[in-house]
Amino acid sequence: MRLLIRPGVPEVAEAAADLIEERLRSGLRVLGLATGSTPVPTYTELIRRHRAGRVSFSGVRAFLLDEYIGLPDGHPECYREVIRRDFTAHVDFDDDAVRSPDAWSADPDAAAAEYDAEIRAAGGVDLQVLGIGRDGHIGFNEPGTPLDSRTHVTDLADETVVDNSRFFGGVRDSVPTRALTQGVGTIREARSLLLVVTGAAKATVLANALRGEIAPGCPASVVRDHPDAVVICDEAAAAGLDRTPD
Ligand code: F6R
């Protein structure tokens, strides 16, 4: 695992976009996308580079990490709308090439298995972008999720519901409490992982993930035993780490 510490959010976004640009140039075909706040500056930087003619997503397929269960189809906070608004609609992604778990299926367990199969059929994820929850989740894999789990239906931890209520006007009861998420095992199968972490609120969990045990108690800890993982964080998020970046 490589750890890159940058001064602030703009520099983190630039470093993350540099990595994605480099992988696009060397033939990346399947990109795994996270939603949430953290990757937005990276996506904005990629949009800027696309407009400048530097990067293209033509022919690239994207797989989202997760999707809420229970929102009406087309709700502005469902992740397939969020990613479109924040990123994919502003670059040359084919809309059909951006996939997400079918949270509207009458049979979400079957939809989960189909999503894993779809990722496999696409040849697997070349580079998976990840954020981290304050409780150590990646995707919506809350602490305790087995490290070999596949895409599945899950309940959100209370802390995650509270954190995500900022996207729902601060109304906790408006936040769905269930989701379909790629499993930790699914995420680990990506050929490369890029974990982006910013802000002082993530300092404790980042230290746990990078310095504690690799264990279900902190799903994000799996970045450490992945053969090609890069963690890019800002100084604020790095505050709990001993400082030995590569
Ligand atoms: C979103 C996702 C989540 C977020 C995490 C951090 O698709 O999978 O794991 O990455 O909740 O969210 P932010 O970046 O909003 O702090």
Say which residue the tokens 């300092």 belong to: 203
Q: From ligand 1's centre to the CA of 110, what distance in Å?
A: 24
Identify the residue whose C-alpha is closest to ligand 1 atom 3. Answer: 139
Strands annotated E in 102-200: 127-130, 152-155, 178-181, 192-197
Nearest by Cα to 161 from 148, 177, 149, 150: 177
Handedness of CA 35, 37, 42, 43 (dihedral sign): positive
- pLDDT reported for residue 244: 61
- The ligand 1 atom at the shortest distance from the C-alpha of residue 139 is 8
Q: From ligand 1's centre to the CA of 109, what distance in Å?
A: 22
Give bridge partners of residue 129 from the DSSP assignment: 194
Tokens of 148: 């070999």
Total residue length of the chain: 246
How many angstroms separate the CA atoms of 116 and 152, rounded? 9
pLDDT string in tens for the chain (246-residue length): 999 999 999 999 999 999 999 999 999 999 999 999 999 999 999 999 999 999 999 999 999 999 999 999 999 999 999 999 999 999 999 999 999 999 999 999 999 999 999 999 999 999 999 999 999 999 999 999 999 999 999 999 999 999 999 999 999 999 999 999 999 999 999 999 999 999 999 999 999 999 999 999 999 999 999 999 999 999 999 999 987 655
Pocket of ligand 1 (CB under 6 A): 34-38, 65-66, 131-133, 137-139
How many angstroms separate the CA atoms of 22 and 89, rounded? 21
How many angstroms separate the CA atoms of 243 and 24, rounded? 30
